[in-house]
Amino acid sequence: MNSILPFHSAYIGLGSNLGQSRSLLQEAWQALDQYPEVSLQALSSPYRTRPVGMKSSHWFINAAGLLRTTLAPEALLDLLLETEQKFGRIRHPEREGYQDRTLDLDLLFFDACIMQTARLVLPHPLMHERLFVLIPLAEIAPQAEHPLRNKTIAELLAEKQEQRGGSEGIEQAGWQEEGADQQTSPSP
């Protein structure tokens, strides 16, 4: 019997602040296309952002992507974690808080799925608070609706920008390496 598996839409946050971040993000995105269960749909522009929630002198390059998949959410998470590891991501669970990283792939949305397990929370629990997620996500999916907040990404972005008085610390960048990935953030 030949059954056709349904495709799901998944939005991914991509980030890096070590190495040639723009190249790493592009290569990791293309690596996801090597899996037969994944079909790449859209990738935002890269955005150069100050570190948030951590002390680091290395700015991040962030982007967002849309893919279609036949995988279940936790199976897609496994694929994302495997891809991070292939690109040099080392997790230090003994350390507290966020750390510098070569690659970070976050599962933001999976259809309109709402779930909470020991390994995965959907939608991503902090995405609505992070301009470095909302700005690239709004570029590729402004009308996508947050299943818990019942607002579009564009609406969540406008609210967050109003709260923060703009988008300071985030600037759109091109995909071409310009040497800026290794620049450090200015001293306070």
pLDDT of residue 2: 47
106 is catalytic: yes
pLDDT in tens, 49-64: 887 776 777 888 999 9
* CATH number for the domain harbouring residue 167: 3.30.70.560
104 is catalytic: yes
101 is catalytic: yes
pLDDT of residue 186: 43
Q: Is residue 184 part of a domain?
A: no
pLDDT of residue 1: 44
Can you give the residue range of the structural domain that contains 135? 8-177
Q: Is residue 19 part of a domain?
A: yes
Of 101, 111, 164, 181, the active-site residue reads 101
Q: At residue 85, what is the residue type?
A: Q
Q: Is residue 1 part of a domain?
A: no
Q: Is residue 187 part of a domain?
A: no
pLDDT of residue 168: 81
Q: Is residue 2 part of a domain?
A: no
Lowest mean pLDDT among 82-91, 99-108, 178-187: 178-187
pLDDT of residue 54: 67
pTM of the model: 0.87
181 is catalytic: no
Q: Is residue 182 part of a domain?
A: no
pLDDT in tens, 66-94: 999 999 999 999 999 999 989 877 765 65
Q: Say how many domains are in the chain.
A: 1
Q: Is residue 186 part of a domain?
A: no
Of 106, 119, 149, 181, the active-site residue reads 106
pLDDT in tens, 153-179: 999 999 999 998 888 888 989 888 655
Residue 94: burial class (beta carbons within 10 Å; 0-12, 13-18, 19+): exposed
pLDDT in tens, 6-45: 899 999 999 998 888 999 999 999 999 999 999 999 999 9
Of 22, 48, 104, 181, the active-site residue reads 104
DSSP the chain: --PPPPPEEEEEEEEE-SSSHHHHHHHHHHHHTTSTTEEEEEE---EEE---SS--SBPEEEEEEEEEESS-HHHHHHHHHHHHHHTT----TTS-S----S-EEEEEEETT--EE-SS-EES-TTGGG-HHHHHHHHHH-TT-B-TTT--BHHHHHHHHHHHHTS-TTEEE--SS--SGGGPBPPP-
d(CA 134, CA 64): 9
Contact 61, 21 (CB under 8 A): yes
